[in-house]
Structures are given as C-alpha cells and as structure tokens.
Amino acid sequence: MEQVLHPTYKTSTPSQQSTGIKSLGIPTYVYAVVFSSFCVIIGLIWDICWHLSIGRDGLLSPPHLVIYVGAIVSGLFSGYEVLRNTFAGNALEKSKRVKIWGFFYSSLGALFCIWGAIAMLTSAPFDDWWHNTYGLDVTILSPPHTVLALGIIGVQFGAIVGVLAIKNQTAFIFSGDEAAKKLRNRVLYVMFVLSAGFLLTMWFTLLSEEIDKRASHSAIYYQISAFAFPIFLLAFGRAFPSKWTITAVSAVYVAILMLTMWIIPLFPAEPKLGPILNHIDHYQGFKFPLLFIIPAIALDILKNRYAYLNDWKQTLILAPAFLLIFFVVQWYFGGFLLESPNARNWLFGSHYWYFGSNPDWEYRYKFAPWNLESPVGLIKGLGIALILSLVSSRIGLAWGNWMKNIKR
C-alpha cells in the first residue's frame, strides 16, 4: 500500500534526508519552544539572584525581559502553528491535532505553550501591582510569582510534549531512510533531554526554599525530595526510553544551576534597597544543585536491568534505591556545604548571602537546633519519606507511559 505523508513532513530524496536538520521533518515551533523553555529558566534564576543582590527593581528589569522573551517566542510560534493547522492544514494534518473550541486545530504541545505564555505575560502587571500595593517580598512563591511559575511550567511541559509527539509520529509519518531516522531521533532526544532538564530545574527552584542545605539533616528535607523528584525522573525516563535518559536529564539540571552560579556572580551588583546588612559589590549566586544525579544513575541502571518487571514491581525496586542513595549522599554533602570552609568559594557557593541578612548570624555556617532531629525522629521521618517515594515513583511511571504514547 502506498504510504500517505503529512505535507508538512514530506521528505525529499534519501541523500537530501541524510544531510542535515532541515530535512528531518521537525516543525520550527518545536525548536522555538525549547529555546523559550531555556530562556525562562535562565531569566528566572537571574531574577532570583537579582533580588538577592540588588533588590526588587522595575517591571522591565533585564531578567524579567529574558523571561518575557521566552513567553513571547513560545506564544507566537505556537499560535502560528495553530493558525497554520487550522486554515492551511489538510484533513490528514488536522486528524493529527487536537480540536479546541470546535474550530481550531492544535498540537497538544502548542496548546500548553500558548496557555503558559498567556499566564506568564498576565503575571507581569499582576506582580508589579502586587509590589506597589503590598510592598516588597523575598519569597519565591508569592501569588503573582505562582501565576508566573504555572505559566513557565506550561511552556516547559509544552516543549516536552511537542518533542515527544514529533518523535512518536516518526514510524508512520516520516519516510526518510534509516540514517535520516537515526539522526532525527538523536536530535529529538537532545531536545527532549534539554526540555526535561529545564523543567526539572524549574521544579527544584520552586521547592528550593523548603529544601535548603540548612534542612539537610532533617526528615522533612528527604520527605519533600522523595515525593518531588522520582515522579519527574521516572516519568522522563519512561517517556523517551534510552539507556541514560534519567542521568542525562539530571545532568542538564546540574549544568544549569552550576553554570549560573559560576557566571552570574562574575558581574557587579549593588543593593538598591534598605536595610543593607551585608555589603556586597557582585551578584550573589543561587543554589548548588542537589546531588540526585547519583541516584539518577542508579535508576537508569535498575530500570534497564529490571525492564521485564511490571510497573508495580519496578516501583518497589526504584523508590527505595532513590531514597537510600539520595539520603546517604545528600546528608554528608549538605553538611559539607553548610559547615565546611572549603565550600565557601566560587565552586560551591555556600558563602553567598542576601544583602538584607546579617552576615554575622550565628547559624550562618552551622545547623540551627530547629533543623536537627533525634535519631528516632529521623528514622520515623525517613519511613514516611519511603512511602512518599513509592507513591511518587509509581505515579512517575504511569505519567511516563502516558507521555510515551503522545502523538498529537
């Protein structure tokens, strides 16, 4: 039977298909939304460093502009994709799309990106009004920041969904030769790993106030981590099967946080708001990444080793492995970051300090009593963390199964 090709993905001759990215049938909007996902996470981390170093500035501060660029690019390219599918797409193209409001035809990824962009741009005047009405804040999750965060997650998840949909269409919509298909899959894998790593970084950023190094010797630190991260790591590992997907996604998260922590403090910055208790002349860095890249390596090894087991049995292996390895690694590393003089440098960044906080605070470089637990309390807390890890891991595998089958 003759194969019917989607016009947008129509390929040329085999020799042309193997020569470069333009012949891989990946829509431009997918590249655009992955770029947008990168812009918003870089802009967000920069904005946090701005608040720590300079204070609350105007609506159009440089980090805000980077975030808005990400929102605008995502919204415009995704919106164009919807309009093109609706008014210029043929019946086959429309059959591969989601129909919305009984008229428009959109890919699922573009839909997430559009709504995310709208939420992000809506949050801008809301944030400005909030500060003008209620004053300054130094919390990450104020109401306008929450709207912004939901928008960013929408854009970043839309990028992931967009990449997965194109990847999952390869078998029935792309007729290139084997070399072209392999190159297409490699390009999509890189785009997926980047997009998933950006979303993982965003997720950590939202939780960073609750899982600061000062809490690394308390049970709540591991309870939050055990519930928050396996769901994403295992979902990503299942959505785009490869030997080292979870590790690669975690490596992107590590790279983003470490590079921003190393680069941003190279630039001068001076506080503009009082009280100024910690006099600084350069940007303060954000956070050193959690070391869940180490349990991520174990998760990749175990999921490949026990791939023949059903999801429930895999959960019983993967969840305890994540918690045990993460606890051992982070317990000691958290203590190192907080207490060791060897961590107070550009490499680990434990010396960075908000300009409005007293630099001579007695617990700046040691655990406060309220962040320590008795052995019995810690063991009980870790038991709860294990349950949370099991729940998170099982949900993550189910979510990954859903994403693995996205074709629209």
pLDDT by residue (tens digit) across 155-164?
Answer: 898 889 888 9
Tokens at residue 290, please? 């959690």
Q: Residue 98 is inside which H or E element, if any?
A: strand 98-100
pLDDT reading at 370 higher than 50: yes
User: What phi, psi does 282 have (nearest 5°)?
Assistant: -140, 160
pLDDT > 90 fraction of the chain, expressed in percent and rounded? 54
Residue 392's pLDDT band, with cuts at 50, 70 and 90, is very high
Residues 231 and 205 in one domain: no
For residues 183-200, average pLDDT: 92
Higher-confidence residue of 355 and 127: namely 355
The residue written with tokens 């074709």 in the block is 407
Residues 152 and 238 in one domain: no
Residues 161 and 226 in one domain: no
Structural domains in the chain (count): 2
Nearest to 31 by CA among 88, 93, 113: 113
In a domain, 47, yes or no: yes
For residues 256-273, average pLDDT: 94
Per-residue pLDDT, 304: 93
In a domain, 279, yes or no: no
Per-residue pLDDT, 175: 60
Residues 120 and 148 in one domain: yes
What DSSP character marks residue 127? H
pLDDT tens digits for 101-141?
767 777 778 888 888 888 888 877 777 666 666 665 556 66
Residues 47 and 142 in one domain: yes
Nearest to 79 by CA among 110, 101, 108: 110
In a domain, 282, yes or no: no
Q: Which amino acid is it at 185?
A: N
Q: What is the dihedral of CA 180, 182, 184, 188, to 10 degrees?
A: 180
Residues 85 and 151 in one domain: yes
- How many angstroms separate the first and last alpha carbons of the chain? 24
Residue 5's pLDDT band, with cuts at 50, 70 and 90, is very low
Residues 232 and 147 in one domain: no
Separation of alpha carbons 79 and 210, rounded Å = 36
Domain boundary among 186, 209, 232: 209
Per-residue pLDDT, 1: 35
In a domain, 76, yes or no: yes
In a domain, 57, yes or no: yes
Residues 186 and 330 in one domain: no
Domain boundary among 160, 194, 209: 209
In a domain, 302, yes or no: yes
In a domain, 276, yes or no: no
Residues 45 and 116 in one domain: yes
Tokens at residue 365, please? 């470089």
pLDDT reading at 8 higher than 50: no
Residues 160 and 74 in one domain: yes
What DSSP character marks residue 266? G
Residues 318 and 378 in one domain: yes
What DSSP character marks residue 99? E
Per-residue pLDDT, 225: 96
79-83, 108-112, 271-275, 276-280 — most confident range: 276-280
Domain boundary among 209, 234, 267: 209
pLDDT reading at 7 higher than 80: no
Residue 247's pLDDT band, with cuts at 50, 70 and 90, is very high
In a domain, 255, yes or no: no
pTM score, two decimals? 0.88
Residues 224 and 319 in one domain: yes
Q: Which domain holds residue 50?
A: 20-209
